[in-house]
Amino acid sequence: MATDVHRPVSPEAAPALRPTQAVHVAGLTRSFDGRAVIDRLQLDVQPGEFVALLGRSGCGKSTLLRILAGLDRDIEGTVLVPRRKAVAFQAPRLMPWKKVWRNVLLGLPGKPGRAVAEQALKEVGLDHRTDAWPKTLSGGEAQRASLARALVREPDLLLLDEPFGALDALTRIKAQRLVGELWQRRGCAVLLVTHDVEEAVLLADRVLVMDDGVIAHEQRIDLDRPRDITDPRFAELRARLLERLGVDTAAEAA
Amino acid sequence: MSISHAPPSSPKKDISSKSGFESSASVDVVPLLPASSRRTRVPRWLRRTTGPVLLLALWQLLSSTGVLTADVLASPGRIAQVAGDLIADGSLPSAMGTSLQRVAAGLALGTVVGTGLALVSGLFRIGEDLVDAPVQMLRTVPFVGLIPLFIIWFGIGEAPKVAIITLGVTFPLYLNVYAGIRGVDAQLIEAGESLGLSRRGLVRHVVLPGALPGALTGLRYSLGIAWLALVFAEQVNADSGIGFLMVQARDFLRTDVIVVCLIVYAFLGLFADFIVRSLERLLLQWRPTFTGR
């Protein structure tokens, strides 16, 4: 339970009081049938910061991401998010009836040309599949297309909902590396929801553990980039976080 | 599966095999031939045409020997000849033209009505509440049963015929377009929302393309029903069209003309199916099943 001072909540987003933050959430509550999945949650994300959000399944981390994405408005509390934000979901969610490049441009204001899509696809290494139908892409390719679709919006906040969850081990490593590179190049704030502790420690500046509807634990990751998973400090951080999540790692941490 | 144990007097093996793994059991080995080697030389299309051709030959034989008389069923040769005559004197083409016009008009009207209603009830909750229940009730009425009523309402001209076809076409289209709209993946809608699509944009880029496969299935059903409705409509009070030709032929016991008309119906149906399939190949090329070979 959050023990902070309970602030008066306003259902609509108040005017941006703190423009220095990419995300400002205060006293956020989201209930399903009277049960608060998110309970007076506080969260701040700095511009350009990479934050990973860990938690057991069902802890509300995906709900929080959906709220930040603006897809869930049945909320109480203050939520400030950048106007320009983009989401990549666990399933790529490409429109199967639009070619890859049209998917990338979907929903963009104005009438951006194909070159804009090509540029974004090139950035994720998918420029050779510009004209493909989404159903002909492999899992990793589809996920990269989904990333390109998010990046082409030039977001100030990129929301990633377990984007590597459905990928095979090798593809996942490549995709993680790609996200790390893109983040460093773009400098946007990233909120990565994941259940993979290693992934969180590998990519994030700060790892949050969500439990009981609030951010229950916060862990700064000060390791140099690119990070080495064989680094003992990496293993220690990973073990500590796993412990927070209730996984016994005595054997590994020893 | 049978595993035959080796007789004790099996030929001598190497000495180390004293464990239970003594594989002196003789296994019955059969070669697995590649599928291609079993295939016969006769090409598939030829084999597939053999059946109908044999049937046709049998029919001709029965007719020629007098077992099958002309007032029961005319012979294939006779039918071909009559078809030639009917085409030559222009009565078949003009009947076909009339019938095609009726189907086209009914289909166009039915498509507009069915799709329109489905859009209203599929896209708007209020539309669903107002439209869906009455349509679901009306659809259980066999449309052919409405012919007498339609004749009273619309007289005996073209209107009741087109109306019957329209009615037959409307319901399958409505059901399939409606189901198609409601069956669009909610995840895709959400993705569209997160991309900043407006409500109109969502309908245009996500909902309607997602409903298209269902709509085309509906169109296919509708076409089948359109021909059926045409047959019914033209046998009541018609003075032109293929159905009229058939009714006339019935009065003169001309089984040959009747069969010619049936064949024409069949071909028109095939043609309509071909059009829908071409449409599917064109519009649904994003589906891996429609790579179009």
Domains and CATH numbers, chain A: 18-84+155-245 (3.40.50.300), 94-154 (no CATH)
For residue B196, the chain A residues in CB contact (below 8 A) are 107-109, 153
Q: Is A89's CB within 8 Å of B191's CB?
A: yes
Q: Does position B120 have pLDDT exceeding 80, yes or no? A: yes
Would you say residue B50 lies in a domain? no
Residue among B190, B197, B287 whose CB faces A71 most closely: B190
Would you say residue B22 lies in a domain? no
What pLDDT digit, counting tens, does each position of B192-250 carry?
A: 999 999 999 999 999 999 999 999 999 999 998 998 899 888 887 778 899 899 999 99
Q: Give residue B212's domain range.
A: 79-290
Instruction: Work out whether the CA dihedral A240, A246, A252, A254 comes out positive or negative.
Output: positive
One-letter identity of residue A195: H
Q: Does position A253 have pLDDT exceeding 50, yes or no? A: no
Establish if A109 touches chain B: CB-CB under 8 angstroms: yes
With contact defined as beta carbons under 8 Å apart, do B290 and B284 qualify? yes
> Which residues, including other chains, have CB under 8 Å from residue B172's CB and lie 6 or more apart?
B114, B218, B221, B222, B225
Hey, which bits of chain A come out as E strands? 23-32, 35-45, 50-55, 76-80, 85-88, 157-161, 189-193, 206-211, 214-220
Establish if A101 touches chain B: CB-CB under 8 angstroms: no
The alpha-carbon gap from B194 to the nearest alpha carbon of chain A, in Å, equals: 7
- A152: nearest CA partner in chain B: B195
Q: Considering only residues 52 to 91 of chain A, which have any Cβ-Cβ distance to chain B shorter than 8 Å?
A: 69-71, 86-87, 89, 91
Would you say residue B260 lies in a domain? yes
Helix (H) or strand (E) holding B105: helix B91-123
DSSP classification of residue B27: P
What pLDDT digit, counting tens, does each position of A136-183 carry?
A: 999 999 999 999 999 999 999 999 999 988 888 898 999 999 999 999
- CATH classification of the domain holding B236: 1.10.3720.10
Would you say residue B99 lies in a domain? yes
Mutate to test the interface with A, among B195, B203, B216, B283 (most CBs of A within 10 A): B195
The pTM of this model reads 0.77
Q: Is A87's CB within 8 Å of B194's CB?
A: yes
With contact defined as beta carbons under 8 Å apart, do B211 and B103 qualify? no
Q: Does position B273 have pLDDT exceeding 90, yes or no? A: no
Q: Is A95's CB within 8 Å of B197's CB?
A: no
Q: Is B188's CB within 8 Å of A93's CB?
A: yes
- B289: nearest CA partner in chain A: A135
Establish if A98 touches chain B: CB-CB under 8 angstroms: yes
The alpha-carbon gap from B206 to the nearest alpha carbon of chain A, in Å, equals: 7
Strand ranges of the sheet holding A206-211, from the earlier edge strand across to the other edge: A85-88, A157-161, A189-193, A50-55, A206-211, A214-220
